[in-house]
Amino acid sequence: MNFIFGIALLAILVPFNIFVLKILPKLSPRLSQVVLYSMTFGNMVIAVVWALGLKSEITNVRPFLTGIGLAVLLNTGYKISYVILKLNK
């Protein structure tokens, strides 16, 4: 169950990144680096808040952190796929 709590972080990370990637074409090219840092910082803040918020519910920390790590990895793959498929048209 702890692993599922960790991987459930995807339910928050993916909509956050969709929002940031949707506003990317509206920004000037000079701000593209800012968008990259905001996604990275936003994902970090969301993951830390998620982990601290579920701290009292977790019984085994290792599967929980493994789930969070997998969620971040899958989210990164999603962002790369989205940029390659949608923004390079």
Q: What is the CA radius of gyration of the chain?
A: 15
pLDDT of 89: 63
Return the closest-CA partner of residue 35 out of 45, 23, 46: 23
pLDDT of 38: 87
Name the pTM for this structure: 0.83
CA distance 83 to 89: 10
- Domain ranges in the chain are 2-86
- Kindly indicate the confidence band of residue 87, based on its pLDDT and cuts at 50, 70 and 90: low
Phi, psi of 60 (to 5 degrees): -130, 115
Q: Is pLDDT at 10 greater than 90 in this prediction?
A: yes
What does the pLDDT look like over 32-63, one tens digit per residue? 788 888 888 999 999 999 999 998 889 999 99
CA distance 36 to 52: 24
- Check if the beta carbon of residue 58 is closer than 8 Å to that of residue 64: yes
- Check if the beta carbon of residue 78 is closer than 8 Å to that of residue 19: no
**Structure-model confidence comparison of residues 10 and 26, the more confident one:** 10
Mean pLDDT lowest for which of 63-67, 72-76, 83-87?
83-87
